[in-house]
Amino acid sequence: MASNRKKVLVLGTLHPDGMALLEGRDDVEFEVIEDISEENLLRHAPGTHGIAVRVARITRSIIEAAGCLEVVSRHGVGYDSVDVAACTDNGVRLAIAPRSNAPSVAEQTMMFLLALAKQVAVYDPLVRRGDWDKRFRTQAIDLDGRTLLVVGLGRIGSRVVRRAQAFDMRVLGYDPYVAPDAIRAMGAEPVADYRAVLGDVDALTVHCPRNDETLGMIGAAELAALRPGALVVNCARGGLVDEAALVAAIRSGHIAGAGVDVFDVEPPAADHPFFQEPRILMTPHSAGASLESLKRAAVQTVENILATFDGTLDPAVVVNKAVLQRTEAS
């Protein structure tokens, strides 16, 4: 006898708090898939109603093979690995977990700014090598009184604004999709054109999705326009800051340091030029992977699937809202 329970595929490991939500539903059966190759997912896809996904690629073939798929729920806010058009074409909601990683990435951004300003990468090895007398050859700086430009003022960027204010920084904010009054309410000075203010900026951080509008938005010209000795941070998506231009600006000395959590190609190649530059601090796309963030992401990822089954999914977490409009119209 065929089961009338909803079938959910969990691709990868989720925090136990998220799994507990699935375990608590008698009307749901789930399977955890560790082999996330497309070939294996195609074998498991038929009859699937919901997919919880961390890093697997969700292709059109997988979506269509399911046959009755209702929702793909991303463990986080990025969805580069999901075929959005295929979801929309097949009436599948693509949901994200917006409350998951915003505090974590905002803190990572401030960590980079502080570590760069205070020359941690230089001072720590001096202590370990016993080169105490060389400590004054490197000059740390204060964030206090410096001007920070935050490009992108969504869930993460708005939090960076508040944290930078706590360090008494002057904060400029750019986001063409956020009203100037809302930017002021965050505590930032709104700017209409981020390129026009670069000459006043000591530190720049980007918090935007990767798309045709944002790809390469910080290139050689933008880096050259920053104040000499500026700091650059990218905890958003690879490609927003041109990697070759950043290396060149670091090597010329115009940019004093950079913090990078994301790369054009991940993982980066073994001969990536960033590896030769001690003034570029790097983390492995892990800014949003704190203990708390993973818990929040797992819970909301599963909540979004169950809410879809229950008809209570919050439209605010749905990427392809055209599916919701089509459902309402029918």
Annotated active-site residue in 159, 237, 243, 296: 237
Q: What is the pLDDT of residue 3?
A: 64
Annotated active-site residue in 227, 285, 296, 303: 285
* 285 flagged as catalytic: yes
Residues 166-190 pLDDT 10s: 999 999 999 999 999 999 999 999 9
Domain boundaries, the chain: 6-100+291-329, 102-282
Q: Confirm whether 6-100+291-329 and 102-282 share one CATH topology.
A: yes
Neighbours of 222 (CB within 10 A): 21
* 254 flagged as catalytic: no
* 266 flagged as catalytic: yes
Q: What is the pLDDT of residue 327?
A: 64
Q: What is the pLDDT of residue 98?
A: 86
Q: What is the pLDDT of residue 1?
A: 36
Burial state string for 47-71 with b = 16 or more CB within 10 A and e = fewer than 16: bbbbbbbbebebbeebbbbbeebbb
Query: CATH 3.40.50.720: does it fit domain 102-282?
Result: yes
Superfamily of domain 6-100+291-329: NAD(P)-binding Rossmann-like Domain (3.40.50.720)
Neighbours of 203 (CB within 10 A): 29
Burial of 29 per CB tally in 10 Å (0-12, 13-18, 19+): middle
Q: What is the pLDDT of residue 46?
A: 97
Q: What is the pLDDT of residue 330?
A: 53
Residues of the chain with pLDDT under 70: 1-3, 327-330
pTM of the predicted model over 0.85: no
Annotated active-site residue in 23, 31, 266, 292: 266
Strands (E), the chain: 6-11, 28-33, 50-53, 71-74, 93-95, 147-151, 170-174, 189-190, 203-206, 230-234, 255-260, 280-282
Q: What is the pLDDT of residue 4?
A: 80
CA distance linking residue 134 with residue 147, whole number of Å: 29
